[in-house]
């Protein structure tokens, strides 16, 4: 049998098998060396597409984890700054509490104020320099931002560092008022207080034969009028009429009601029940017909006392026993002439309550000794003989005086010196002036304003400029001949409202319009009054700071959970890609061994193909 041509044919067959083994060995070697089953589109087009998408997702999520880590670091930096500010606020509260004590003089308070201002400076420094990179965190510019943890808007997590820690935002009035709305079909004189301890300002009326009350629901809606009568003949609604204090230390507002000027010497004490009603009144004799009276703790024993001012130069001091009864009257003299009005305030900053008012064309002050007695009268600043009110009109933390110059279009402003005396009065021209007015901040600028019963059947506002001068406000002519004012936030929106009786036989409310006011965080402990105001302000700032810390803590918690979820998702995605892409080492090593055997066998056989052609063919079949 001839073998011609058999060598060429068998060689080609062997070469084909050898080439296939070599190509297969190259692919399996590539897979083993790279560790990947899919190295090109030809290996597994569908698998490569899936793997590529999964790897992109894992890369995006890995960057998302880093983004969340950066955001957590940013918020941790802000939280650290707020923690330092909280510690400073705690110390500020402590020393403002100390400065609020009546046992300190203003000179002693000045030492505390020096420390407080240093703490405030450090507070503002931290607030302005706490940063993450170049981003200011606590100065109010950061606002709300988002951390990118995944794709598009659905992959964002919002976080915020709200507000500037060195400023205080609050809702206050804007100095304007709405159209009057009737709340009562009679026209008694109203006084504002919280009768039932619910935080809402209620009304007590000075009515003929007794007192009346209306409870407020907190929105300026008042209930039915409750009347407490039982007054002897001669008691009516004249004069300022009533004083509201807790005279028996039971936590409820009580009422002292005076007789009409010159009617008799008695005052009635109404004990409050804490629900807008009162017990039957008891009678207190003051040993003198009087034209005005005020209440305060004049001897520092924690019990409210009261002073009744005679129409003559004398006045009587009745020390409270803390149970609704009073000691026998002690009489003092104001000097020539009586007071047109009287206020109990601390004018010289020694923590002791003084008496002040307009008398004989001057402002007369009797400095309190803190034991229920008073020093000789101090007279200063020629003014009209009309009602005096006291407030800080020029922003120096010292009480000033405003007095209406009767029969003219002027009010007199006398700047306080701080020792109980006043500088020369400066006249300020304004329309619609009378001697019936209240002083408060109605437009949220921290300057004392004036709300006045106008002389043209109106209510007139004068807006303080903070330098002892005023801007002419609005005249509200839709009230028919009002003759009395109560000023408080009756509607609960942060703005002061006006309640006034008028000659049409009704009592109306003019609701104040509100606005959000932002002022720099600043305070003074120079006086007892300013220290008490500082406590409220610092407490408000601390509450806002704690609120910010709470929000940041919530964001940190969410971001931490989100980061763990994104990290886990990234790892799961990589694992899924690995299952498609990565080589099966055991299988490919076995395949490589098989192909190596074939390659080696084919090489050996090829060398003998011409010698054993028929054997070779049988082996290859």
pLDDT in tens, 215-230: 999 999 999 988 876 4
| Strands laid side by side in the 400-405 sheet | 388-391, 400-405, 410-414, 426-429
| Per-residue model confidence (pLDDT) at position 525 | 92
Q: How confident is the model at residue 237 (pLDDT cuts 50, 70, 90)?
A: very low
* 72-76, 151-155, 234-238, 251-255: range with lowest mean pLDDT: 234-238
* 7-11, 148-152, 264-268, 407-411: range with lowest mean pLDDT: 7-11
pTM of the predicted structure, to 2 decimals: 0.73
pLDDT in tens, 32-48: 766 666 666 566 677 66
| Per-residue model confidence (pLDDT) at position 607 | 67
Clarify whether residues 267 and 370 are in a common domain: yes
Query: Has residue 394 been placed in a domain?
Result: yes
Q: How confident is the model at residue 567 (pLDDT cuts 50, 70, 90)?
A: very high
Query: Has residue 440 been placed in a domain?
Result: no
Counting other chains too, the contacts that 521-525 makes at CB distance below 8 Å and 24 or more residues apart are: 521/120, 521/123, 521/124, 521/165, 521/166, 521/167, 521/168, 522/120, 523/96, 523/116, 523/120, 524/113, 524/397, 525/95, 525/96, 525/99, 525/109, 525/112, 525/113, 525/116
Burial class, 104, CB count within 10 angstroms (exposed 0-12 / middle 13-18 / buried 19+): buried
Looking at residues 389-413, what average pLDDT do you find? 88
pLDDT in tens, 297-328: 999 899 999 998 765 677 889 999 999 999 99
Clarify whether residues 285 and 189 are in a common domain: yes
Clarify whether residues 247 and 112 are in a common domain: no
Q: How confident is the model at residue 58 (pLDDT cuts 50, 70, 90)?
A: confident
Joined together, the tokens standing for residue 417 give 């010196």
Clarify whether residues 156 and 234 are in a common domain: no
Q: How confident is the model at residue 1 (pLDDT cuts 50, 70, 90)?
A: very low
Of 240-244, 248-252, 327-331, 354-358, highest mean pLDDT: 248-252
| Per-residue model confidence (pLDDT) at position 3 | 44
What rounded mean pLDDT belongs to the chain?
84
- In this structure, are residues 499 and 226 in contact, taking their beta carbons and an 8 Å threshold? no
| Per-residue model confidence (pLDDT) at position 264 | 59
Looking at residues 431-439, what average pLDDT do you find? 85
pLDDT in tens, 449-476: 999 988 778 899 999 999 999 999 999 9
Express as a percent the part of the chain with pLDDT over 70.
85
Would you tell me the crossing angle of helices 528-581 and 106-129 to the nearest 10 degrees?
Answer: 20
- Is pLDDT above 60 for 232? no
* 31-35, 197-201, 490-494: range with lowest mean pLDDT: 31-35
Q: How confident is the model at residue 430 (pLDDT cuts 50, 70, 90)?
A: confident
pLDDT in tens, 99-137: 998 788 888 888 999 999 999 999 999 999 999 999 999
Clarify whether residues 222 and 263 are in a common domain: yes
Q: How confident is the model at residue 18 (pLDDT cuts 50, 70, 90)?
A: confident
Query: Has residue 472 been placed in a domain?
Result: no
What string of DSSP letters covers 422-443?
Answer: B---EEEE-SS--S-EEEE-SS
Number of domains in the chain: 3
Joined together, the tokens standing for residue 24 give 């297969």
| Per-residue model confidence (pLDDT) at position 508 | 92
- Is pLDDT above 70 for 583? no
Clarify whether residues 230 and 120 are in a common domain: no
Higher pLDDT, 375 or 185: 375
Would you tell me the crossing angle of helices 6-34 and 585-607 to the nearest 10 degrees?
Answer: 160
Q: How confident is the model at residue 68 (pLDDT cuts 50, 70, 90)?
A: very high
Query: Has residue 525 been placed in a domain?
Result: no
Query: Has residue 292 been placed in a domain?
Result: yes
Clarify whether residues 74 and 195 are in a common domain: no
Looking at residues 433-447, what average pLDDT do you find? 90
Query: Has residue 31 been placed in a domain?
Result: yes
| Per-residue model confidence (pLDDT) at position 4 | 41
| Per-residue model confidence (pLDDT) at position 529 | 81
Clarify whether residues 156 and 235 are in a common domain: no
Q: How far is residue 319's CA from residue 297's CA, in Å, rounded to a whole number?
A: 8
Clarify whether residues 379 and 499 are in a common domain: yes
Query: Has residue 473 been placed in a domain?
Result: no
* 69-78, 163-172, 259-268, 433-442: range with lowest mean pLDDT: 259-268
Among residues 265, 257, 271, which one has the least CA distance to residue 316?
265
| Per-residue model confidence (pLDDT) at position 618 | 59
Q: Write out the residue range of the structural domain in which residue 105 sits.
A: 47-166+538-575
Q: How confident is the model at residue 620 (pLDDT cuts 50, 70, 90)?
A: low
Q: How far is residue 158's CA from residue 72's CA, in Å, rounded to a whole number?
A: 12
Among residues 204, 208, 207, 210, which one has the least CA distance to residue 192?
204
Domain of 299: which CATH number? 2.120.10.10
Clarify whether residues 376 and 493 are in a common domain: yes
| Per-residue model confidence (pLDDT) at position 254 | 96
* 35-39, 267-271, 533-537: range with lowest mean pLDDT: 35-39
Clarify whether residues 59 and 76 are in a common domain: yes
pLDDT in tens, 332-354: 887 666 677 789 999 988 888 99
Query: Has residue 423 been placed in a domain?
Result: no
Clarify whether residues 206 and 338 are in a common domain: yes
Domain of 106: which CATH number? 1.20.1330.10
| Per-residue model confidence (pLDDT) at position 314 | 79
């Amino acid at each position: 049998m001839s073998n011609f041509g058999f060598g060429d044919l068998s060689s080609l067959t062997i070469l084909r098998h050898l080439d296939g083994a070599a190509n297969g060995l190259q692919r399996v070697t590539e897979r083993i060396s790279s560790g990947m089953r899919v190295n090109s589109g030809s290996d597994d087009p569908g698998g490569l597409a899936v793997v590529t998408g999964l790897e992109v997702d894992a890369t995006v999520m890995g960057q998302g984890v880093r983004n969340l880590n950066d955001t957590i670091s940013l918020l941790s930096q802000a939280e650290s700054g707020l923690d330092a500010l909280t510690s400073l606020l705690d110390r500020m509260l402590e020393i403002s509490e100390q400065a609020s004590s009546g046992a300190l003089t203003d000179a002693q308070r000045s030492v505390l104020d020096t420390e407080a201002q240093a703490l405030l400076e450090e507070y503002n420094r931290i607030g302005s320099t706490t940063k993450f990179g170049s981003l200011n965190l606590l100065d109010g510019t950061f606002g709300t931002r988002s951390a990118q943890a995944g794709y598009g808007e659905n992959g964002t997590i919002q976080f915020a560092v709200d507000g500037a820690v060195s400023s205080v935002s609050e809702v206050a009035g804007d100095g304007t008022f709405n159209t009057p709305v009737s709340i009562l079909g009679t026209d008694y004189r109203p006084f504002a207080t919280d009768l039932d301890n619910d935080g809402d300002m209620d009304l007590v009326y000075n009515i003929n034969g007794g007192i009346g009350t209306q409870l407020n629901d907190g929105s300026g809606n008042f209930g039915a009028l409750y009347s407490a009568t039982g007054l002897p003949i001669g008691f009516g609604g004249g004069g300022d009429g009533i004083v509201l204090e807790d005279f028996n230390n039971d936590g409820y507002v009580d009422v002292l009601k005076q007789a009409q000027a010159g009617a008799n010497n008695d005052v009635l004490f109404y004990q409050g029940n804490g629900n807008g009603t009162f017990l039957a009144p008891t009678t207190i004799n003051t040993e003198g017909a009087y034209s005005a009276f005020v209440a305060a703790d004049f001897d520092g024993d924690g019990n409210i006392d009261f002073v009744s001012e005679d129409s003559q130069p004398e006045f009587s001091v009745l020390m409270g026993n803390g149970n609704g009864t009073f000691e026998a009257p002690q009489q003092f003299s104001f000097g020539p002439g009586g007071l047109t009005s009287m206020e109990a305030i601390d004018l010289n900053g020694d923590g002791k309550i003084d008496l002040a008012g307009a008398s004989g064309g001057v402002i007369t002050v009797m400095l309190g000794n803190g034991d229920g007695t008073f020093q000789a009268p101090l007279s200063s600043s020629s003014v009209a003989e009309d009602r005096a009110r006291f407030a800080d009109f020029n922003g120096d933390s010292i009480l000033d005086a405003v007095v209406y110059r009767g029969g003219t279009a002027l009010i007199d402003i006398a700047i306080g010196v701080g020792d109980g005396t006043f500088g020369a009065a400066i006249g300020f021209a304004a329309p619609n002036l009378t001697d019936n007015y209240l002083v408060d901040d109605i437009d949220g600028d921290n300057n004392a304003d004036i709300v006045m019963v106008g002389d043209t059947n109106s209510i007139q506002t004068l807006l303080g400029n903070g330098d002892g001068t005023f801007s002419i406000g609005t005249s509200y002519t839709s009230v028919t001949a009002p003759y009395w004012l109560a000023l408080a936030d009756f509607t609960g929106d942060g703005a002061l409202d006006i309640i006034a009786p008028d000659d049409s036989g009704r009592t109306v409310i003019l609701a104040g319009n509100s606005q959000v006011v932002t002022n720099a965080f600043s305070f003074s402990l120079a006086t007892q009054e300013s220290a008490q105001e500082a406590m409220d302000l610092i407490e408000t700032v601390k509450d806002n700071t704690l609120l910010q810390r709470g929000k940041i803590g919530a964001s940190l918690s969410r971001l931490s959970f989100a980061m763990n979820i994104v990290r886990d998702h990234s790892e799961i995605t990589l694992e899924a890609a690995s299952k498609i892409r990565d080589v099966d080492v055991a299988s490919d090593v076995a395949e490589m061994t098989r192909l190596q055997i074939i390659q080696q066998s084919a090489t050996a056989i090829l060398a003998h193909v011409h010698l054993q052609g028929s054997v070779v063919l049988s082996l290859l079949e």
